[in-house]
Amino acid sequence: METFSINREIISENRIEELEEKIDRIIEGYKIVKEENEALKARLQSIEANDKSAQTKMAEIVSERELLLEKVMKILEKVERVEI
């Protein structure tokens, strides 16, 4: 007999409503987390794109610097060869 009363409690209207409310809160929480995740993914992609752009610019600067140093070294070599 006691088992039957426990089952009635589980299936009671209030208990079902409580479960529905909990499920609704879980679903709402999931939606919020999913939206935040999508926003963070988009932000990460933007940051990665900016990082690639910065790396490309840095590589260009390093290349230009090396070229400039080569030119300066050639000028210095020419100056050293000139007899005064």
Domain positions in the chain are 2-81
Higher pLDDT, 84 or 18: 18
CA distances from 76 to 16, 71, 84 (A): 88, 9, 15
Per the structure block, which two tokens stand in for 18? 């409580």
How far apart (Å, rounded) are the C-alpha atoms in residues 74 and 80?
A: 10
Q: Residue 40's CB: how many other CB atoms inside 10 A?
A: 10
Per the structure block, which two tokens stand in for 82? 């000139």
For position 1, what pLDDT does the model report?
Answer: 46
Q: What are phi and psi of 82, to 5 degrees?
A: -70, 130
Q: Where are the alpha helices (DSSP H) in the chain?
A: 2-11, 13-81
Q: pLDDT digits over 24-76, tens only? A: 999 999 999 999 999 999 999 999 999 999 999 999 999 999 999 999 999 99
